[in-house]
Amino acid sequence: MALKIIIVGAGLIGPRHAQSVLSNPSTTLQALIDPAASGATAASNLKTNYFPSLAALLQSDLPKPDAAIVCTPNHTHVPITKELLEADIHVLVEKPISSTIESGKSLLEYTQRPDKSHLKLLVGHHRRFNGYVQKTKQILDSGSLGRIIAVNGLWTLFKPESYFSCGGEWRRSRESGGGVIPINLVHDIDILHYFFGPITQIHAEGILPQRENPSHDAEEGAALTLRFASGVVGTFLVCDATPSPHNFEAGTGENPLIPKVSEGSDFYRIFGSNASLSVPDMTRWSYDGCAQKSWSEELKVEKIGVQEVTPFDLQLGHFVDVINKGERVSCSGEDGLRALVVCQAVRRALETGETVELGVDLLG
């Protein structure tokens, strides 16, 4: 029998998740929940039921849903997820798992209660399912690049003022979980953890702000230096106030709202002892087949193919298997919290001007 799934939140991401639910033969879209009047319109467009709250749905004649996907503002993730778990409903919560480390830890403690241990919690770092990320992970795990030495990353683009209005006002405010660090950088931190293991040291320098304050008080960007427990070092530049093709969305075409850039849109460069790799053009540079590994030799260029996939669809399929088959979650609550811990460390580094040491156990 198909899993009955509800979507909580009718903003930018909710309808995308809803389309995945509608297209999966193992799921049915039972309802859309959002207190805003626009929620009813979104539900009508999706041809599903609408409720202003979970309580209203549970008090209706509809059967209780099996699972929910939480797509609400960051600071509401924990209370809404707890409310769903209390109703005995499995949850896929959008990243970041919470807006504070304390509330994130409280959610993890809640899920570990004996009466809740049967429920599944998946954090929506859906880019782990992106074809470019999956292929890069395969290359790294194969040892093709040798021992990884360093990584350079970029997430730079321009967000229009409309992004911060019409229900998106919370994105302007640091207090409500807005800003490029918890909204966007958290994705890349999770991917970097997925590739190279935990980040243990961070230094950050803030960019010159471009938006009017106090209307906007959340960070617009930073230049970071990173050290991983594995010994890998890295740099990362994040900024949402500059026209640029160097970001995950433009490079992969993952987000239909952001046009794909076919050339010159690399956002990761990974350097190993045997070869280097740029992503998403998936170009591997090496001295393979040369008389010696030397700068005097001509570099060999290899283009690696990637199968285009829809990450939200694959993530939903995984969520179904987690619930029905007991498959281990791809991104656990602990994984989600680790990414948030690093993002909070970035903010601390920006505030103090000091290098922040995290240690290997980010939850300690």
The residue extents of the domains of the chain are 3-125+312-331, 128-308+341-357
Instruction: State the Cα angle at 4 between 307 and 327, rounded to 5°.
Output: 50
127 secondary structure, DSSP code: G
**pLDDT tens over the chain, length 364 residues:** 899 999 999 988 999 999 999 999 999 999 999 999 889 999 999 999 999 999 999 999 999 999 999 999 888 999 999 999 999 999 999 998 998 899 999 999 999 999 999 999 999 999 999 999 999 999 999 999 999 999 999 999 999 999 998 878 889 888 877 899 988 999 999 999 999 999 999 999 999 999 987 788 889 999 999 999 999 999 999 999 999 999 999 999 988 889 999 888 899 999 999 999 999 999 999 999 999 999 999 999 999 999 988 999 999 999 999 999 999 999 999 999 999 999 999 999 999 999 999 976 655 5
Specify whether domain 128-308+341-357 bears CATH 3.30.360.10: yes
Helix 311-325 vs helix 14-23: crossing angle, to nearest 10: 60
Q: Residue 215 has what pLDDT?
A: 84
**Which tokens in the block code for residue 201?**
């040291």
Q: Residue 362 has what pLDDT?
A: 56
The pTM for the full model equals 0.88
H or E stretch including 90? strand 90-94
Superfamily of domain 3-125+312-331: NAD(P)-binding Rossmann-like Domain (3.40.50.720)
Scored b (16 or more CB within 10 A) or e, 256-279 reads eebeebeeebbbbbbbbeebbbeb
Helix 14-23 vs helix 38-45: crossing angle, to nearest 10: 20
Q: Residue 213 has what pLDDT?
A: 77
